[in-house]
Amino acid sequence: MKEITDETFDADVLQSTTPVLIDFWAEWCGPCKQIAPALEEIAGEMGDKVIIAKVNIDDNPQTPSKYGVRGIPTLMMFKNGQPAAVKIGALPKNKLQEWIESSI
């Protein structure tokens, strides 16, 4: 999974022609660590259909603030440079995959 920063967000997410799923997370967040392996697996399985990336909210405070992220993990799907869907909280892998597939 790709690490996105405040500096790379525009180029990596907003200008992407492929849908991008951003996982807003933090090192101290237990549920964030719970879903990380599932997101990694989904990233491998879905290949070119969606880019799955992470934004560490502690290291990159501007982006989560801009998009109103108040709780983590927050998963935000971007399509054509716009937020298209949001899911807050940890989910099992099958539910994550269903949500991602319905959002892209």
User: In the chain, where are the structural domains located?
Assistant: 2-95
Which residues sit opposite 55 in a β-bridge? Answer: 24
Let me know if domain 2-95 sits in CATH 3.40.30.10.
yes
Residue 32 bears catalytic tag: yes
Distance in angstroms (rounded) separating the CA atoms of residues 100 and 24: 15
What is the residue-level pLDDT of the chain in tens, covering all 104 positions? Answer: 899 999 999 999 999 999 999 999 999 999 999 999 999 999 999 988 999 999 999 999 999 999 999 999 999 999 999 999 999 999 999 999 999 999 99
Catalytic annotation, pick one of 20, 21, 22, 29: 29
| pLDDT attached to residue 56 | 98
Residue 51 in contact with residue 18, Cβ under 8 Å?
Answer: yes
Residue 89 bears catalytic tag: no
* Amino acid residing at 13: V
Catalytic annotation, pick one of 13, 20, 21, 32: 32
What are the two backbone dihedrals, phi and then psi, of residue 37, each rounded to the nearest 5 degrees? -60, -40
